[in-house]
Amino acid sequence: MNSFTLIQMEYLLKGMGWTIVLSLISFILGSMGGFGVMLARVSRFASVRFMTSVFIQIIQGIPLLVLLFIVYFGVGIFGLNVLPLTAASIALMIYVSAFLGEIWRGSVESIQKTQWEASECLGLSRWQSLLLVIIPQAVKLSLPSTVGFLVQVIKSTSLASIVGFVELTRAGQIINNSLFQPFLVFALVGLLYFCLCYPLSLWSRIMERKLNVGNR
């Protein structure tokens, strides 16, 4: 039985780096998509709200693993070959946009209607009221939930290994296939995920107490 060496540890850290890259790409693109979803969900037009609601229900009703398969193999139907990183980023972006859109929509709709009325009294349009008055308040409310969801995104990147992307979990699998020491290898993988996620979880709890969201 081979022993665990610094070479294997370096490989795990490289996989950890790709986990961070995929998480950042997914969260940044998903945040932009989520902002658009949020705007559509609070639109004045019922048809826009309905179509966006259908999109959210579909994405939230499909397991992320299945969504990864759909994106990775679905693009191939059109004769296009996509890199595992690209397919994983697209799938996670869609997944993140649906969930963040709902988180942010709830925060926007939780703002008291008197804030909208006060904005109208100041002569602001609906768009100006949303950008200048409502969203700054909603950001404070949604920040803990948003950071908490980021933790879930980081852990969800482990599913990207199913389409051949070598992130932290896949790196652990490859190392274990050569060492046959699953307890040691995956204990280290779990520890590295903990190092990524725990600071964010701690920050989320600190921000929740600091912003006094629960007692609003």
Residues lower than pLDDT 50 in the chain: 213-214, 216
Note the pLDDT of residue 207: 78
Angle at 66 between CA 200 and CA 167, to 5 degrees: 45
Residue 190 is predicted with a pLDDT of 95
Q: Give pLDDT, residue 60.
A: 93
CA 31 to CA 20: how far, in whole Å? 16
Q: Inter-axis angle of helices 182-211 and 135-156, to 10 degrees?
A: 170
Transcribe 42-82 into DSSP letters.
Answer: T-S-HHHHHHHHHHHHHHHHS-HHHHHHHHHHHGGGGT---
Q: Where are the alpha helices (DSSP H) in the chain?
A: 6-41, 46-61, 64-74, 84-109, 113-121, 126-129, 135-156, 168-179, 182-211
What is the pLDDT at residue 165? 92
What's residue 33's pLDDT?
95
Do 139 and 131 touch, CB atoms closer than 8 A? no
Domains of the chain: 6-215 (1.10.3720.10)
Half-sphere exposure of 131 (CA within 13 A, CB side): 5
What pLDDT is attached to residue 214? 47
Helix axes 84-109, 46-61, angle to 10 degrees: 130
